[in-house]
Amino acid sequence: MSHSDTVPLHPSSQSDIDEIENLIHASVQSAPATVLPARPPSPPRASIPVVSSSPFLQSNLPPPPPPSSNQKVPSVPEPPPPPSSSIAASGFGSAPNTLTEPVWDTVKRDLSRIVSNLKLVVFPNPYREDPGKALRDWDLWGPFFFIVFLGLALSWSASVKKSEVFAVAFALLAAGAVILTLNVLLLGGHIIFFQSLSLLGYCLFPLDVGALVCLLKDNVILKVIVVSVSLAWSSWAAYPFMSSAVNPRRKALALYPVFLMYVSVGFLIIAID
Amino acid sequence: MQIFPPNNGGERGKGYQTLGSPPEGFEQQPENGSKGVFSISSYTQYFNVDTDIVLNRLMSSLYPIGGDFFSKIDANPDLYGLIWISTTLVFMLAAFGNCATYLMEKHSDSTTSWSFDVSYINLAAGSVYGYAIVVPVAFYFLLQYLGSNASLVRFWCLWGYSLFVFVLASFLLLIPVEFLRWIVIILAGSASACFVALNLRSYIAENLSLMVVAAFFLQFALAIFIKVWFFP
């Protein structure tokens, strides 16, 4: 919240930084910050000044459009993701750094969050049996990348009707995640909608790896083995979360659709050539 | 049962209101709960089943002569069976249909190579979901018009579970012998059609045999359609 930790990238951008800081100071909200999820303290983040202090503070829902007019940093070739992380989990009125930080920093922060979520969900770790801890810091970028990558991999390996294959795969995965979550909710389970979407998306990572291997090497036996292994891995990753969300007498009812979705995606990977 | 998130985790995203409301009692025709059409808790009453109950209903759908399905589901009709059996059937038809087509062509012409036709998925989804949703609605409205008392949810439940036979039959339909495939589908079709027709007859108070026969033939027509289109 001061000039000392804002490094001007270019001498002429100093005045822009001043301008931005003035704008933010002028409209700063005084709503106190509330709970912060279990994340190591990150650099104090700017909030895009909004008029009302609504509960949307906390969410990682589709972010507002980036204030591109304010950001004079040199643009990066890759499409800069909107600074979703700049919706302050630490409250309004903190340093406006993330508005002026290099896009690479924002991207790096999101990427590291994806990697840490991935490690929590898909790889063995001591928190596995406690789903409450498993994905406190959920995000939807990871699942988005995994679903699109899987669709692309399937589309590349198809020899005909490529776009239809992509459409089917994407629709199956995206709608499937939503429907699976609704299924658990309807069975009387206790989960948070977006956390579950996020988790089901992360559990697609092993199938992504399998699809990549199958894309590169086109042997049926190998495909069957690779897909079976990645299917087992995905199911193992999703199991504790899903089974603990519902009444134990309904566990199979909640798990079967997950299994069905992964089997159908696995079949698509094997069958598409 | 673990409830999460733990309270200090903070609500992320839209969250969802805690399911405080128990099932809404045994109303005759529960269309919506009192909480409105967009709230999850008004639909949980249709999913109030445990694993063993679902398995029980699945097994009883395989006995065409029973005629007592409606009394089994009367207190607690569920839509879980409808949704997931029809989804399983869509996947089976698309997957095994491709395999069976390949095997059949290989049988007659050993130079064919495997090709996956993704339009099978679209066709299977359209036909199975369309049938499973529209036919019970049509029967419901017809029976209401003719004065008989009908319950849409129970009809959906019945037709949903009646598709389970086709799920099992599609495993057998992989065998690339034409004669055997016809035998399998005729047996499965008749079993399923008898199941629907006999249960419908025991449910409707009036003597509406035309409806019963129509239900029988519709189910049989679905069986023939499955055979002809997916397992040629």
How does pLDDT run across A62-119, given as a tens digit for each residue?
Answer: 444 444 444 444 444 444 444 444 444 444 555 556 778 888 888 898 888 888 888 8
Question: By residue range, what is the domain housing residue A255?
Answer: 117-272
Q: Which two tokens stand for residue A233?
A: 């891995």
pTM of the model: 0.71
Name chain B contacts of A227, Cβ cutoff 8 Å. Answer: none
Give the model's pLDDT for residue B202: 85
| Contact criterion met (CB < 8 Å) for B5 and A58 | no
Q: Does A272 touch chain B (CB under 8 A)?
A: yes
Ramachandran area for residue B231 (φ above 0: left; ψ -120 to 50: alpha; else beta): beta
Give the model's pLDDT for residue A41: 54
Number of domains within chain A = 1
Mapping DSSP onto H, E and C, the string for A20-78 reads HHHHHHHCCCCCCCCCCCCCCCCCCCCCCCCCCCCHHHHCCCCCCCCCCCCCCCCCCCC
Above 70 in pLDDT, residue A55?
no
Handedness of CA B187, B188, B190, B194 (dihedral sign): positive
Instruction: Please tell me which residue of chain B has the smallest CA distance to A164.
Output: B118
Q: Does B8 touch chain A (CB under 8 A)?
A: yes
Q: Which two tokens stand for residue B72?
A: 């089994």
- Burial of residue B130 (CB within 10 Å: 0-12, 13-18, 19+) is exposed
Residue B182 lies in a domain: yes
Instruction: Give the mean model confidence (pLDDT) for residues B115-135.
Output: 89
Q: Which of B61, B57, B60, B63 is nearest to B78 (CA)?
A: B57
| Contact criterion met (CB < 8 Å) for B12 and A260 | no
Number of domains within chain B = 1
Give the model's pLDDT for residue A57: 45
Q: What is the pLDDT of residues A169-179, one digit of tens each?
A: 999 999 999 99
Please give, rounded to a whole number of angstroms, the shortest distance from the CA of B188 to a CA of chain A. Answer: 23
Residue B152 lies in a domain: yes
Question: How far is Cα B176 from Cα A210, in angstroms, rounded to an integer?
Answer: 30
Q: What is the pLDDT of residues B58-105, one digit of tens each?
A: 988 888 887 788 888 888 888 999 999 999 999 999 999 888 888 888
| Contact criterion met (CB < 8 Å) for A272 and B116 | yes
Which string of DSSP letters, residue by residue, matches B93-124? HHHHHHHHHHHHHHHH-TT------THHHHHH
* Number of Cβ within a 10 Å radius of residue A219: 10
Q: How many residues does chain B have?
A: 232
Please give, rounded to a whole number of angstroms, the shortest distance from the CA of A15 to a CA of chain B. Answer: 36
Please give, rounded to a whole number of angstroms, the shortest distance from the CA of B25 to a CA of chain A. Answer: 16
Residue A100 lies in a domain: no
Q: What is the pLDDT of residues B163-191, one digit of tens each?
A: 999 999 988 888 888 899 999 999 999 99
Residue with tokens 């390996």: A157
Instruction: Give the mean model confidence (pLDDT) for residues A19-30.
Output: 72
| Contact criterion met (CB < 8 Å) for B5 and A136 | yes
Name chain A contacts of B38, Cβ cutoff 8 Å. Answer: none
Residue A251 lies in a domain: yes
Give the model's pLDDT for residue A14: 61
Q: What is the pLDDT of residues B16-67, one digit of tens each?
A: 544 544 444 444 444 445 667 788 778 888 888 888 989 989 988 888 887 7
Question: How far is Cα A10 from Cα A235, in angstroms, rounded to an integer?
Answer: 50
Give the model's pLDDT for residue A125: 73
Residue B220 lies in a domain: yes
Residue A73 lies in a domain: no
Nearby residues of B49 by Cβ (< 8 Å), 6 or more positions away: A250, A253, B76, B78, B80
| Contact criterion met (CB < 8 Å) for A164 and B118 | yes
Confidence of residue A243 (pLDDT cuts 50, 70, 90): confident
Name chain B contacts of A259, Cβ cutoff 8 Å. Answer: none
Give the model's pLDDT for residue B184: 92
Q: Does B11 touch chain A (CB under 8 A)?
A: yes
Residue A55 lies in a domain: no
Q: Does A194 touch chain B (CB under 8 A)?
A: yes
Q: Which of A138, A168, A186 sits opposite B118 (nearest CB)?
A: A168
Question: By residue range, what is the domain housing residue B104?
Answer: 77-109+116-230
| Contact criterion met (CB < 8 Å) for B5 and A138 | no
The predicted complex's ipTM stands at 0.78
